[in-house]
Structure 1
Amino acid sequence: MGVVGPPVSSHDGLHCEASKLWRKVCVETSVELQLLAEKWKLLLTGLMFQYIHGLAARGVHYLHRPGPTLQDLGYMILPELEEKEATSWTFHPFVYHSKRFYTVLLWRRILAFLVASQLLRIITFYSTQLPGPNYHCHEGSKLARLPPPESITEVLLINFPHGVIYGCGDLIFSSHMIFTLVFVLTYHKYGSKRFVKLLAWVIAIIQSLLIVASRKHYTVDVVVAWYTVNLMVFFIDKKLPEMPDRSTGSQPMLPLNIKEKDGKPREENLKLSNGNSADTADWRQRMQVNGTHGDDGNHIRSESAANGVNR
């Protein structure tokens, strides 16, 4: 009769799961930091442009001249809301069982979409200043006209956050819809939950109506944002290199242009990221993935077989 070992307690099982999760967190963090070390300049440029976009919106407020609200079909259909606004965001956890993307590379794409759309927006609202439809942009409001700045510091600080919330003149097209559509389109491509994708599009439509109803923007600002952002994302996404799909398990843990550190093989990082240990059985499995098959200790390269070379 075989010897029965001691039963595995639930405490040991929890400890094992916690150990796997910790290894996964460590490996994911290491990979993302290596990517960040390569791509930090592009990411920093995208983040800095967010400030430039806010600075441009603040600058056009100095040019704003209040006037009668333009005739707007959306205003005729939707009743005006009070001074409220709704915004919804969807975030993906950093560590997930079936993480399909690299966080640094994903944010690189998002910032590229945002910068391109915001650059077009700056050109557009500086070309023609329209009278703001919001309550604080009407004639008689102390925020409708800004006095000339007394110093360059006043301009650079953009009166944050008050100056961002109560801006006038940065209308065509909607910045709210830029952010919403960029995140919705990104999740639609890289997300895995069909229900969340559908919900995100529904929220984008609802937010479009709320923006018009709150008189934050004219209807044309929202309409232009819908086709401009979609077109910008479509064309820029074609120009950017496609991110490796990690959901199938066929892609390496690290991109090919990332150097190995600490002498750890890339396959070991892949196994650790999946919560498995790098034991002998895993080594044989990795050899098969790399094109090397093991048979009773004799290793035959599949590449030689594919080329018709016999040994």
Structure 2
Amino acid sequence: MAIYIAREATKLWRKVCAETSVELQLLFEKWHLLLAGIVFQYIHGLAARGVHYLHRPGPILQDMGFMALPELGQDKGYLSETVFTSIFLSFLLWSFHPFVYHSKRFYTVLLWRRVLAFLVASQFLRIITFYSTQLPGPNYHCREGSKLATLPPPKNVREVLLINFPRGVLFGCGDLIFSSHMIFTLVFVRTYHKYGSKRLIKLFAWLMAIIQSLLIIASRKHYTVDVVVAWYTVNLVVFFVDKNLPEMLDRTSGLALLPVSAKDKSDRMKEELHKPEKDNKIKDEHHKLLNGNTVDSTDRRQWMPMNGKHGEDMNHTLSDAAPNGT
């Protein structure tokens, strides 16, 4: 038993090392776009921190979702965060599963490149909308009487740039339309819906997205309009951005590694160009074999089926057929 476990552990380690080597090659080529997407996450947090300085508490706006859903209360606000964290961590682990499992439908680097593109486009639109009009926040720490509802003027630039992570993110105000939690949730769910393989998990992921939406409204972290706008905006953004990005190769087709250099790409293109010619040649040779011809094109002799007769019978037949006097 111990020998079997050790053997399987060795196979797993080799698999992880091989996959890491492949992904690192892709990372060395695509790191510019990945770094830009990660940097924009900080810019988005900085913008949310900046709008908090502009936020002014006021009466909570009339909201149909607040009327329909009972208020969870300040002590149960963790429920929506718990669901969001589970969605985030589940997607993160799934995106790295090609390092371990055989069913490899995508490359992790290329997948996160697409995910960051979706996030950046959605967050860019979000920054524009919540800076256009500042609404009084419905969250408990954003209401009138709370010390966190309005931030005092910053004493220096460093105070703004550090964005007081993670407290500044958890207790922000003013960045309402549209919900950042729903951006991440919908991007992750749509990505798994396209590249995931388990239909039941896909249905469960969409159910979790709906539950997340309801919990955000019930915990009064966002107005209903923030969630509704996120649903159609993020889905439209993902649709149009994904349509204009080059499609990822499906790894189930048997390709071991994407071409990451100009030489590899050139070789791959040459191989694809000569593929029809090679296939036709193979078909011709196969056709000759089926018809009883030799594969060698210089050998024009026809192979005569013997139909179960002995070689002596064939020799007698050939001698009888020869002309007299020879």
Question: Shorter-chain TM-score: which interval?
Answer: 0.7 to 0.9
| Aligned mates of 1:259, 1:22 — CA distance in 2 | 30
Q: What SS does the corresponding residue of 2:70 show, helix, strand or coil?
A: coil
Residue number among 207, 229, 239 corresponding to 1:224 in the alignment: 229
TM-score by length of structure 1 reads: 0.80
Residue 281 of structure 1 is matched in structure 2 by none
Q: CA deviation at 1:55?
A: 0.3
Q: CA deviation at 1:44?
A: 0.7
Runs of 5+ in structure 2 lacking a partner?
Answer: 269-273, 286-295, 298-326
Q: State the one-letter code of the partner of 1:247.
A: T
Q: Verify: 1:164 aligned to 2:169, yes or no.
A: yes
| Aligned mates of 1:16, 1:121 — CA distance in 2 | 51
Residue 133 of structure 1 is matched in structure 2 by 138
Once the two structures are superposed, residues 215-237 of structure 1 have per-residue CA deviations (whole angstroms, 9 ceiling, x without a partner) of: 00000000000000000000111
Q: Verify: 1:111 aligned to 2:116, yes or no.
A: yes
Whether contact under 8 Å (1:35, 1:258) holds in the other structure is no
Output aligned runs, 1:261-276, within 5 Å: none
Q: State the one-letter code of the partner of 2:244.
A: K
Q: CA deviation at 1:27?
A: 1.1
Q: Tell me the percent identity.
A: 71
Whether contact under 8 Å (1:131, 1:169) holds in the other structure is yes
Q: What SS does the corresponding residue of 1:42 show, helix, strand or coil?
A: helix
Once the two structures are superposed, residues 254-277 of structure 1 have per-residue CA deviations (whole angstroms, 9 ceiling, x without a partner) of: 11234799xxxx9xxxxxxxxxxx
Aligned alpha-carbon RMSD (Å): 2.6
| Aligned mates of 1:21, 1:40 — CA distance in 2 | 27
Residue 220 of structure 2 is matched in structure 1 by 215
| Aligned mates of 1:307, 1:135 — CA distance in 2 | 77
Output aligned runs, 1:156-305, within 5 Å: 156-249=161-254, 252-258=255-261, 301-305=278-282
TM-score by length of structure 2 reads: 0.76
Q: Verify: 1:50 aligned to 2:27, yes or no.
A: no
Runs of 5+ in structure 1 lacking a partner?
Answer: 1-9, 267-289, 293-299
Q: Verify: 1:148 aligned to 2:139, yes or no.
A: no
| Aligned mates of 1:153, 1:15 — CA distance in 2 | 52
Distance 1:307 1:181, change over 3 A: farther
Residue 24 of structure 2 is matched in structure 1 by 33
Residue 125 of structure 2 is matched in structure 1 by 120
Q: State the one-letter code of the partner of 2:179.
A: S
Q: State the one-letter code of the partner of 1:254.
A: L
Q: CA deviation at 1:15?
A: 4.5
Structure ranking higher in helix proportion: 2
Report how many residues are paired.
Answer: 267
Distance 1:102 1:80, change over 3 A: same
